Homo-oligomer: A and B are copies of this chain.
Amino acid sequence: MIRTNKELFSYITHLVRSGAEHKFTEHHFTPSQKILVEGKKVFSVYIMKSGMVKCFLTTDTGSNFIQEFFGEGELFGEIELMDDCYSYCTIEAIDDVVVYKIQKGDFLQLLDEDKKFNRLFIEALISKLKYKATRHSYNQSHTIEDKLTRLKMKFPALEQVISKQDIADYLGITLRALNRTIRSMSEN
């Protein structure tokens, strides 16, 4: 559930360290600070250096739906790269977060000039696509109990790190339903 991208992370780190690439700037955020806000203009692409953020979007019914949690190496702002430049989601720091930031123009140039970077970017997109596809189908064909069990397997420290409300928002259910399920699971 916490998405990372080691290969991209190594390559960006390499680019930054080699000094050949001054286009990346580093930025720090503290818990619950917003890095991108739904509906606001986006002019850059971001890559996670450290920490964890949640990527969510507020639906017209007022509830939040968490798309993904991002960790080391994961990138965001890329969807807003091509067409309009309004963010379709909000990115909020969960703990202390450091990100690399690169202007859209520079990003596109890098994409054109650096074949390896281009390939890594495409792989990142494909990885996200695959993840989203399986997640959506799993979510809509399994019970809350199944989803919770799966989540705990993939990420045992779940409840220590992420609030109950966030877990519920990630699973697309209400907090009440989450509590009910946790209780009934512990009774067996």
Measured CB to CB, the residues of A under 8 A from B are 57, 59, 61, 63, 65, 67, 78-79, 81-83, 88-89, 111-112, 115, 118, 121-123, 125-130, 132-142, 172
B65→A137 contact, CB < 8 A: yes
B138→A59 contact, CB < 8 A: yes
Select one of B89, B121, B132 contacting A132, CB under 8 A.
Answer: B132
Question: Helix, strand, loop or mixed for chain A's interface?
Answer: helix
Closest Cβ of chain B to A115, distance in Å, is 7
A112→B115 contact, CB < 8 A: yes
Which chain B residues border A78 with CB–CB below 8 Å? 126
A59→B122 contact, CB < 8 A: no
- A59-B139 in contact given A88-B130, A88-B133, A115-B112 (Cβ < 8 Å): no
